[in-house]
């Protein structure tokens, strides 16, 4: 019996451009995924981008969730901001409500809510922050989060269905939490001109084989190699599972394509 007890899905954060600025290759990614987390305007996204992203996902029959973040467009929602519990709840209610307006216009249900960036990390470190954020999630709507943390504990406390996440393009700390960068540094190194690559990125980038190993380990054994080289078990339990990748990671299409092949192979072997 596999370590994961349910078929694995793939989710990607989408609609994270703003105005004339495009963030990731959304059109190429959408056909490869199962779940879309659509930015709701606070860390990225605007009304037209939200509307178009919802329509594109609907056309490909992708389940759509809200991706609320901290009010920090310049920092892409990856800088901590101190907010009161009341502000956090209202902020999430506001963003989820905005996306629901576009979903209802297209006759599409809200599938889930997944907080973005540093807010996600603040929530698994601080129970009160997690409780405040989840208080803004409509009753009965699933939340995506990190198993074995306050994400899971508070979801159970509030009666919210919980979907455990794995991460295809994010590294793990030894305590099973995530290494969250303001700008993605752990992308796939595909091609780099001798005089045109950032040295820090090259030092951190993964090869295609390293990326596949990172994904395969989580999917097949529910474990991962942390940044210190230690192998850590991920406490997924009996939860539904969705593997997250990011549209702003260098090599995003190649990463998600590799993830799709590994996930499909795993699901066919164990659940078909």
DSSP secondary structure of 175-200: TS-B---SS----B-----TTSS-HH
Taking Cα atoms as reference points, which of 145, 141, 122, 20 lies closest to residue 72?
122
pLDDT of residue 121 exceeding 80: yes
Q: What is the pLDDT of residue 204?
A: 53
CB atoms within 10 A of CB 141: 17
Distance between CA atoms of residues 64 and 62, nearest Å: 6
**Where along the chain do its domains lie?**
8-271
Residue 181's pLDDT band (cuts 50, 70, 90): confident
Structural contact between residues 169 and 245, judged by C-beta atoms closer than 8 angstroms: yes
CATH class name, domain 8-271: alpha beta
Residue 202's pLDDT band (cuts 50, 70, 90): very low
* H/E stretch holding 223: strand 223-225
Query: For the chain, what is the mean pLDDT?
Result: 93
Taking Cα atoms as reference points, which of 56, 62, 48, 64 lies closest to residue 27?
56
Q: What is the mean pLDDT of residues 121-137?
A: 98
Q: What is the pLDDT of residue 197?
A: 52
Q: Which of 9-18, 119-128, 178-187, 245-254 bottoms out in mean pLDDT, i.e. has the lowest?
A: 178-187
pLDDT of residue 261 exceeding 70: yes
pLDDT-above-70 percentage for the chain: 91
- What are 161's two structure tokens? 């269905």
Q: What is the mean pLDDT of residues 206-212?
A: 88
Residue 115's pLDDT band (cuts 50, 70, 90): very high
Q: What is the pLDDT of residue 37?
A: 98
Q: What is the mean pLDDT of residues 72-101?
A: 97
Q: Provide the whole-model pTM.
A: 0.92
Q: What is the pLDDT of residue 187?
A: 53
pLDDT-above-90 percentage for the chain: 88
Q: What is the mean pLDDT of residues 68-79?
A: 96
Q: What is the mean pLDDT of residues 108-118?
A: 98
Give φ, ψ of 29 to 5 degrees: -80, -35
Angle of helix 252-271 relative to helix 208-221, nearest 10 degrees?
Answer: 30
Q: What is the mean pLDDT of residues 93-101?
A: 98
User: Which carries the bigger pLDDT value, residue 249 or residue 182?
Assistant: 249
Within 78-207, where are the H helices? 85-105, 117-125, 127-134, 150-158, 199-204
Structural contact between residues 195 and 188, judged by C-beta atoms closer than 8 angstroms: no
Give φ, ψ of 113 to 5 degrees: -130, 130
* H/E stretch holding 69: none
Phi-psi category of residue 142: left, alpha or beta, with phi > 0 → left and psi -120 to 50 → alpha: beta
CA distances (Å), origin 198, targets 189, 219, 255, 260: 11, 31, 20, 28
Q: What is the pLDDT of residue 199?
A: 46
Distance between CA atoms of residues 155 and 142, nearest Å: 9
Q: What is the pLDDT of residue 1?
A: 76
pLDDT of residue 182 exceeding 70: no
pLDDT of residue 131 exceeding 50: yes
Residue with tokens 């969705």: 242
């Amino acid at each position: 019996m596999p370590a994961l007890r349910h078929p694995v899905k793939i989710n990607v954060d989408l609609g994270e451009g703003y105005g004339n600025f495009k963030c990731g290759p959304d059109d190429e990614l959408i056909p490869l995924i199962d779940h879309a987390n659509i930015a709701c305007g606070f860390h990225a996204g605007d009304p037209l981008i939200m509307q178009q992203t919802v329509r594109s996902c609907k056309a490909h029959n992708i389940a759509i969730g809200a991706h609320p973040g901290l009010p920090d467009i310049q920092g892409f929602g990856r800088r901590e901001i101190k907010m009161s519990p009341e502000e956090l709840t209202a902020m999430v209610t506001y963003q989820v409500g905005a996306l629901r307006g576009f979903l209802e216009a297209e006759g599409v249900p809200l599938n889930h809510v997944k907080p973005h960036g540093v807010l996600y990390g603040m929530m698994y470190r601080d129970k009160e922050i997690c409780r405040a954020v989840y208080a803004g999630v409509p009753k009965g709507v699933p939340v995506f989060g990190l198993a074995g943390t306050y994400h899971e504990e508070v979801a159970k406390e509030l009666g919210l269905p919980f979907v455990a996440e794995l991460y295809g393009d994010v590294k793990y700390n030894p305590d099973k939490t995530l290494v969250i960068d303001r700008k993605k540094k752990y992308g796939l190194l595909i091609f780099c001109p001798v005089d045109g690559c950032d040295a820090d990125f090259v030092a951190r980038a993964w090869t295609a084989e390293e990326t596949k190993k990172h994904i395969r380990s989580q999917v097949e054994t529910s474990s991962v190699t942390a940044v210190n080289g230690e192998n850590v078990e991920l406490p997924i339990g009996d939860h539904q599972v969705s593997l997250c990748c990011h549209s702003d990671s260098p090599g995003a299409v190649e990463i998600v394509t590799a993830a799709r092949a590994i996930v499909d192979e795993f699901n066919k072997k164990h659940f078909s």
